[in-house]
Structure 1
Amino acid sequence: SLYLPDLLKIANLSREKFQKTFRGSPVKRTKWQGLVRNACIALGNAPITPGTAFHREVENTLKQLCQSDDSVISESARWALLRIQ
């Protein structure tokens, strides 16, 4: 849903899947990098309870994104990871 987006799904979105999913949509204007960056920031600001399965899933996703070749995404993921720990 656009009102309650799945932030993990967005954060894990590949460039190819982004292109396919948002073809012809105004969302493409934000570009893949911007959408994933925004998902990282939203996850970093979310009230996620440490020790839960969801927390571990978010942590694993952010750790993977920290390894991104895209510096904007990796920096956003590092920031978010520090916020949820």
Structure 2
Amino acid sequence: MKSPCAGRRQGEWKKKKKKKKKKKKKKKKKKKKKKKKKKKKKKKKKKKKKKKKKKKKKKKKKKKKKKKKKKKKKLFVDGGASHSLIH
């Protein structure tokens, strides 16, 4: 019977400790508001990155041309294979 009573007493102490921690968290929230102002400055830098993304789209068009060349190479390989079968 001693162990369950001890468990209940420990539970009461834990509840009191949690209340003290909640008061400390409220003070931290005020500090986070100051950090949000710094994040607004970072948003201006993100706009510059969008311009770089437009340049990447041009590179994608070049990649499409390379894919067409690869298809032509496959035809030559098939032609070589057919010649070897004839011989």
Q: TM-score range by the shorter chain?
A: under 0.3
Q: Which has the higher contact order (CA 8 A, sep 6+)?
A: 1
Structure (1 or 2) with the greater helix fraction: 2
TM-score by length of 1: 0.21
Look at both structures and tell me which one has the larger radius of gyration over its CA atoms. 2
TM-score by length of 2: 0.20
